[in-house]
Amino acid sequence: MLYRPLLFYWAFTIALWVRMSVGFVTEEILPPLEVLRSVIELLTDVTFAVLGIATLRNKRDIFFFISFILLAFFSTIVVNRLSFPIFFNGFREFVGLTLAFPALRYLIARSPVDGFVDRFDRQLYIFLWVQAFCVTIQFIKYGATDAVGGSFGYGGSGTVSILIYVISFYLLMRRRVPDSLYLTLWRNKWLIILLYPSFLNETKISLILLALYAVLLFPFSARHFWRLLLFSPIIAAGLWGIFNIYARVTNQTMDRLLSLDFYNAYIMGEDVDRLVDFAIGLQDGEFDDAAILWTEDLPRIAKIGLAFSALNTTRGGLWLGAGVGHFKGGTSMGLSQFAKLYNWLLVGTRPMLFFMFIQLGFLGVIWLICNLVTSLLLRRNSDERSLNIKLYLAALFAVLMFYNDSFRFTFFCVLVFYPILIYSTPSELLVEADDEGEDSGNEADLDRQHC
């Protein structure tokens, strides 16, 4: 029945755009709607979960979904004895990691509307323009701060910068002119120009993603390797100029940005014990000025180390963690006891390894790594661009383990997993027909769709 795929497509598309824009809309355009934001986010999470579960067909997807539910249920309900509402609320942050793939497989393979891939690619291009508009407005109002989160709103600066690079790189690969880097860049100059919002906040991962962007534009072959060496001085000069622009916009110096001591302090931290004492004192109300809350954010790697001592106080321990749901709550639902006790550790920037380890322990970390690695190992098609895309995403996934927890957002998973499936073989996309006899497509159709 045609209406079911169409309903699926529109439910998916509306939920995706609503979730990606609710932050900016409620913060900058319609502040009175802020009271409804948590409800809107809940509805979009439920929509994505229902669509994902309804399209579970692939053995890999089924395995990672069921294994997560069993692990999370055992850790949260059985071992740590938390409530079912906390469990379900915590599961919302894993909908993307568990259910984005089946929904995307269905949409790409079934093509419920004519030319789904072309339509979705156009939406990705629109996404870049939307971020340019939102980020520019936020930069003018707040400067280069965490408030420059694009359509995601406050705190979304890291996530929006990552997605700008991923989407721009993917679209550039899709539109690449064979054997002509110059024509590729000239015909897609707006994809390059639309990277500029990533320099209007202090997201330092942008520097890494930009360098990878420049290097992976070249196909992998002996001929293109020598071409890369030939262009390397130009690439280096361009990156140096862009880094200088970034330094000026964010009120930093090049010496500081290129200092190993700076990145060591940024990632590892200095005098962590003092920062921990400060954070605990802040949580206990020892400071009257709440405005200083953002000035002391525990360093990323330090948080992973501190998680060990925190987990030793839980029933789940290091292998099963404290259970899911500790990063949710505080609005319509209260915080868990663990979150109240260790709020000083849980707030602020969270590397993905920390996010996973604190909730599901070593087993959760193993599940996460296996999930991401197997996604990258899906059989890629013969298009030479598929290797560039997967290498770019592999580098991104590795960096995210120590950078932030963007994978907890379903829309983020949708947008970074989509290029993987686009450049996978048709056999990775075929979906079994349902009971009503809907045609699941064939490999020839899928091949043509990926050209």
Q: Which of 150-159, 269-278, 345-354, 412-421 has the lowest mean pLDDT?
A: 269-278
Secondary structure (3-state) at 424: strand
pLDDT of residue 433: 45
Query: CA-to-CA distance for 174 and 176, rounded, in angstroms?
Result: 6
DSSP assignment of 304-346, as one string? HHHHHHHHTTSSSHHHH-S-S-TTS-SSSSPPPHHHHHTHHHH
pLDDT at 3 over 70: no
Count CB atoms within 10 A of the CB of residue 419: 23
> Which burial class, exposed, middle or buried, applies to 361 when counting CB atoms under 10 A from its CB (0-12, 13-18, 19+)?
buried
Residue with tokens 């906390």: 86
Q: Which of 212-226, 279-293, 410-424 has the lowest mean pLDDT?
A: 279-293
Query: CA-to-CA distance for 49 and 103, rounded, in angstroms?
Result: 9
Asked if residue 316 is part of any domain, the answer here is no
Please name the residues in contact with 253: beta carbons below 8 A apart, sequence gap of 6 or more: 247
Asked if residue 317 is part of any domain, the answer here is no
The average pLDDT across 141-154 equals 93
144 lies in which domain range? 3-263+354-449
Token pair recorded at residue 321: 């963690």
Query: For residue range 104-138, what is the model confidence (pLDDT) as tens digits?
Result: 999 998 766 678 899 999 999 999 999 999 999 99
Alpha helices in 55-94 (DSSP H): 59-73, 84-91
pLDDT at 288 over 70: no
Identity of the residue numbered 357: F
pLDDT band at 233 (very low <50, low <70, confident <90, very high): confident
Token pair recorded at residue 32: 């009175």
Asked if residue 323 is part of any domain, the answer here is no
Closest among 165, 95, 108 to 131, alpha carbons compared? 165
> Which burial class, exposed, middle or buried, applies to 163 when counting CB atoms under 10 A from its CB (0-12, 13-18, 19+)?
buried
Provide the β-strand partners of residue 424: 380
The average pLDDT across 250-272 equals 70
Asked if residue 139 is part of any domain, the answer here is yes
User: Do 24 and 33 form a contact (C-beta atoms < 8 A)?
Assistant: no
Average pLDDT, the chain: 86
Asked if residue 192 is part of any domain, the answer here is yes
The average pLDDT across 356-369 equals 98
Query: For residue range 295-304, what is the model confidence (pLDDT) as tens digits?
Result: 457 888 899 9
pLDDT of residue 327: 93
User: Do 183 and 222 form a contact (C-beta atoms < 8 A)?
Assistant: no
Number of structural domains found in the chain: 1
Residue with tokens 């663990």: 338
Residue with tokens 């508009």: 133
- Share above pLDDT 70 across residues of the chain, in percent, rounded to a whole number: 85
pLDDT of residue 401: 96
Asked if residue 309 is part of any domain, the answer here is no
Closest among 237, 173, 247 to 207, alpha carbons compared? 247
Asked if residue 341 is part of any domain, the answer here is no
Asked if residue 307 is part of any domain, the answer here is no
Query: CA-to-CA distance for 105 and 375, rounded, in angstroms?
Result: 12
Beta strands in 353-436 (DSSP E): none
pLDDT band at 266 (very low <50, low <70, confident <90, very high): low
Taking CA atoms, 196 is separated from 40, 56, 169, 200, 412, in Å, by: 30, 38, 14, 7, 20
Identity of the residue numbered 432: E
